[in-house]
Amino acid sequence: MKTAMMNYILRSAGERKRLHILAFPRSVPPSSDTIALRGGYSSEKFVDWHKSKLKAETEIKLKCLVNNIVMSSLINWWWDFRDISLVRFKGIRPFAESTGY
């Protein structure tokens, strides 16, 4: 949908004039195309690429690297409120037994 709207705006001279678009945006290839053109996936150029990939993957899993600000905030909240319990667990079993569960 977004692409269709952009194509309509860029192809229509009246819309470009109304929105004050003076120049066409340049085409940007996806990063996968750029990497492939530069030989980023070459097994001849990068012989032990899989070892460094596995090493990075294990480090990320071990250190729990968080780049998202929301997830980082949630983790901080988890550590700040880890000692607070909303339910008294001592009273759950007698309550469950009294109700038949």
Residue 73 included in any domain: yes
Chain position carrying tokens 């990063």: 31
Domain count, the chain: 1
3-class SS of residue 101: coil
pLDDT at 81 over 80: yes
Please check whether residue 12 lies inside any domain of the structure.
yes
pLDDT tens by residue, 62-73 = 776 667 788 778
Taking the model in full, what pTM does it have? 0.27
- Domain containing 61 equals 2-25+48-99
Q: Return the higher-pLDDT residue of 5 and 55.
A: 55
